[in-house]
Amino acid sequence: MPLKRYIVEIGTGADLHGGDVTKAAQRAVKDAVSRSCLCGLIDIFRLDSPDKMHIEVKIGSTQPERISGGEVLAAVPFGTKTLEIVPGGLAVRGLDLPALGPGDTIVVAVAALTVYIDVDS
């Protein structure tokens, strides 16, 4: 299937209390998704479902090995999906508030979502 790339959208997400890199990555994906309206692709290609899109998700995180990939991909509401997690992001000392999470680390993740369409379908 010949996939053509049409959109790349960037998002950022943070966990302000507890250093949860999965939560930060999910928020980065949701941020990227919230910046895109793909109605033009639906109209141009006459897609009967947004599930005919393929979305490549790339996450930059300070602790890529700690990210739950399935939880991150669940933040993408449609399409077939692939995930790549690479070193990146940011960690900075925040405020230790045990009621909101363990530790005092703020983590920031960056997401790039690339949307592809199968031009033959």
The CATH number for 109's domain is 3.30.1330.20
Domain ranges, residue 27: 3-118
What is the tens place of the pLDDT at every residue in 35-86? 988 888 878 888 888 888 999 999 999 999 999 999 999 999 999 999 999 9
Helices (H), the chain: 21-34, 39-45, 69-73
- Left (φ > 0), alpha (ψ -120 to 50) or beta: where does 22 sit? alpha
69 vs 85: CA distance, rounded Å = 8
Q: What predicted TM-score, i.e. pTM, was given to this entire model?
A: 0.91
The residue written with tokens 């925040």 in the block is: 94
Confidence at residue 1, expressed as pLDDT on a 0 to 100 scale: 61
Could you give the number of structural domains in the chain? 1
